Amino acid sequence: MNGMLDTVTSEILEVLPAGVMLADETGAVFYANRAALEYMGIDRDGLKEINVEGMIRQTSGKKDLMFRTRDRERITVRLSKIPLSNGCSAVILTDITEIHRLQQELLKMDKLATVGELTSGIAHEIRNPLAGIKTTAQALKEEMPENDHRAAYVTRIIIETDRLNKLLLSFFDFAKPKDLSIRTCDLKKVIEDAVFMVQDGARQNHVQIMEFYPPGTVRVQADSDMLQQVFMNICINAVQAMQSGGRMEVHLADRGPAVEISVKDTGKGIPENIRSRIFDPFFTTKPKGIGLGLSISYRLIKMHSGSITFVSGPQGTTFVVTLPKEVAI
């Protein structure tokens, strides 16, 4: 320990829940308390390598850095440099991991809201003329003689307008999510119904489905339609990720005040470079995808105060949804 610090001061510094480092005029660190070492994932020997001038640009005096602690945990730390009267400087390290995470989440919500407003505006403008096209086509078809070969063309127009209309409706859903209609629901049934809806697709892709439920009924306070949509979106993605066969496992676990639902596939996995974007609206890697499945699911789960995460590797992907049994709204 350096002579510049008396025993009491250093004792206090050691138990302080914030990181403190002291550096000389050249930026070389001659002291770091326990929290600082913990944040940076180094021991006292590692201090020799550290120069605060290199870490913090003098102009701003503040910087956020990512560190990996010794437990390999990723944390975000804010460094603030304070010049001291003797030419030395103190650097305060604050763990802002949680703040950083919340900021990212807010940004994501903000982005969703903006896209939502935009799409609902456009969708609305398109729906009216579309309705006009459909009505006109229907009138035309009715006036055609029964054996007119051109009737097939008109039918095509009607089918395509219906398809467009359906697409626009999904945009509306995205832009203005319905209000939550919270009721006590049997989660096992909600999941079973969602899985049932993907059975055809699974059969086509030679995907085997396995469901694991705890004994008894698992009841949650939730909007069952919304939850069913979420699990369907996740299961559809899982099946689509296994074009040449595989296995999808659905697990439901009762965790006391919360429940955990995981959907595991043995598909191609999610490449690392796109992992941060899969919840973004309109992000898709599929030729016929819209890229709304996960962003809608994310929003619906947030409305239930739950969370949705995933892990992915070459063996496949697992999506995990956690929901509180009771929702506070």
Ligand X SMILES: Nc1ncnc2c1ncn2[C@@H]1O[C@H](COP(=O)(O)OP(=O)(O)OP(=O)(O)O)[C@@H](O)[C@H]1O
- Pick 103 or 285: Cβ nearer Mg ion: 285
- Pick 137 or 198: Cβ nearer Mg ion: 198
Q: Where does this chain touch ligand X (CB under 6 A) — which range of 9-17, 98-106, 158-166, 286-294?
A: 286-294
- Pick 39 or 319: Cβ nearer ligand X: 319
- Pick 66 or 167: Cβ nearer ligand X: 167
- Pick 2 or 273: Cβ nearer ligand X: 273
Contact between 293 and Mg ion by CB under 5 A: the answer reads yes
Cβ atoms within 10 Å of 249's Cβ, excluding its own: 17
Which conformational region is residue 286 in: left (phi greater than 0), alpha (psi within -120 to 50 degrees), or beta?
beta
Residue from 199, 204, 285, 315 that binds ligand X (CB under 6 A)? 285
Look at residue 302 and give its three-state secondary structure.
helix
Tell me how far, at minimum, the Cβ of 253 lies from ligand X, in Å: 19
Contact code string over 211-250 relative to ligand X, x by CB under 6 A = ----------------------x---xx--x---------
Q: How many whole angstroms separate alpha carbon 73 and alpha carbon 158?
A: 56
Tell me how far, at minimum, the Cβ of 223 lies from ligand X, in Å: 20
Residues 6 or more apart whose Cβ sits within 8 Å of residue 163: none
Strands 89-95 and 74-83, by their bridges, are antiparallel
Q: How many whole angstroms separate alpha carbon 144 and alpha carbon 78?
A: 73
Q: What is the DSSP string of 105-129?
A: HHHHHHHHHHHHHHHHHHHHHHHHH
Q: Of the candidates 226, 209, 201, 207, which has an alpha carbon nearest to the alpha carbon of residue 288? A: 201
Tell me how far, at minimum, the Cβ of 284 lies from ligand X, in Å: 3
Contact between 23 and ligand X by CB under 6 A: the answer reads no
DSSP state of 144: S
Q: Pick from ligand X, Mg ion, none: which does 38 bind, CB < 5 to 8 A by kind?
A: none
DSSP state of 243: T
| Helix 187-197 × helix 224-240 angle, to 10° | 40
DSSP state of 272: G
Tell me how far, at minimum, the Cβ of 180 lies from ligand X, in Å: 21
Q: Of the candidates 326, 167, 194, which has an alpha carbon nearest to the alpha carbon of residue 263? A: 194
Q: Pick from Mg ion, ligand X, none: which does 285 bind, CB < 5 to 8 A by kind?
A: ligand X
Contact between 89 and Mg ion by CB under 5 A: the answer reads no
* Strands laid side by side in the 62-68 sheet: 29-32, 19-23, 89-95, 74-83, 62-68
Contact code string over 252-271 relative to ligand X, x by CB under 6 A = -------------x-xx-x-
Q: Pick from ligand X, Mg ion, none: which does 284 bind, CB < 5 to 8 A by kind?
A: ligand X
Contact between 237 and Mg ion by CB under 5 A: the answer reads yes
- Pick 81 or 264: Cβ nearer ligand X: 264
With vertex at residue 304, the alpha carbon angle to CA 301 and CA 307, rounded to the nearest 5 degrees, is: 45
- Pick 140 or 320: Cβ nearer ligand X: 320
Q: Pick from Mg ion, ligand X, none: which does 262 bind, CB < 5 to 8 A by kind?
A: none
* Site residues (vs ligand X, CB under 6 A): 233, 237-238, 241, 265, 267-268, 270, 278, 283-286, 289-295, 317
* Site residues (vs Mg ion, CB under 5 A): 237, 293
